[in-house]
Structure 1
Amino acid sequence: MEGRKNLGNHFEEVAARYLTSRGVFILERNVYNRGGEIDLIGRDKDTLVFFEVRYRGPGSLTDSASSINFPKQRRLLKSASFYLHKHGLWDTLSRIDVIAISPGTVKKYRVQWIKNAIQAE
């Protein structure tokens, strides 16, 4: 499990560097609450963004973005809601994005930023 945690931390750092290079200000990392875990929280212009970081290696049966199943989506929505409620940010413009990372061909990693990937019903 420790190896998985280190791997997760590594790819969250890859995602944070990618986002920072695109103007996102990272506010928090690995936020835990009753809803679950939020990998990264950042500010993209005037929007508070909750980021789910996913990596899938070359032998994986699914791509990174497709690996976020419905129960995980519900947990992310719940985690974001708890965060907004706890910090009194209900009126804040916010969204949940996915950073999908996979092995690259030209560069070391292929990073895909899917904005507003998970929405409340």
Structure 2
Amino acid sequence: MNNKEKGELGERIALRYLIKKGAKILEKNYKIKSGEIDIIAKLDNELVFIEVKSRSNLNYGYPAEAVNYKKIKKILNVAKYYLLINNLHNVPIRFDVLEIYFNESKINHIINAF
């Protein structure tokens, strides 16, 4: 399985997890010119922008460590655009990271990751 396939599998696992938690999935792989957000969902009365990171092993560090300053900046810009284009004002929002560990069959949900 190549990295793209692993990423897609991780996102499918994340979607199942979020739906079980009662999330309403609004967007998957929401893209604009400047970046992408993996999942946008309504959860716990908040609009949640979710970055999914998957790992088969920890050779390259923990999944959330891949969400660096540059990635956060892109996610924030895409989220601002999404809010603007959908005319969403005064809506509670948050930014989560979902870590998917394939070998351990484990999910770590980091709420308000940044």
CA deviation vs aligned residue, 1:82-112 (integer Å, no higher than 9, x gap) = 111111113211111100111344xxx2101
Identity of matched residues, %: 34
Find the aligned partners of 2:80 and 2:58 in 1 and give their Cα distance: 34
2:109 aligned with 1:113: yes
Find the aligned partners of 1:65 and 1:59 in 2 and give their Cα distance: 11
* TM-score, L = length of structure 1: 0.85
1:79 paired residue number: 78
Conserved 8 A contact 2:6-2:54: no
* TM-score, L = length of structure 2: 0.90
2:63 paired residue number: 64
Aligned residues: 114
1:25 paired residue number: 24
Alpha-carbon distance, 1:35 to partner:
3.2
CA deviation vs aligned residue, 1:28-49 (integer Å, no higher than 9, x gap) = 1011013310101110131111
- 1:30 is aligned with what amino acid? N
Give the RMSD, CA atoms, in angstroms: 1.7
* Runs of 4+ off more than 6 Å: none
CA deviation vs aligned residue, 1:8-56 (integer Å, no higher than 9, x gap) = 2211010000111111111110110133101011101311111100012
Any stretches of 5+ residues in structure 1 without a counterpart? none
Q: Quick check: 86-95 or 11-20, which moved more?
A: 86-95
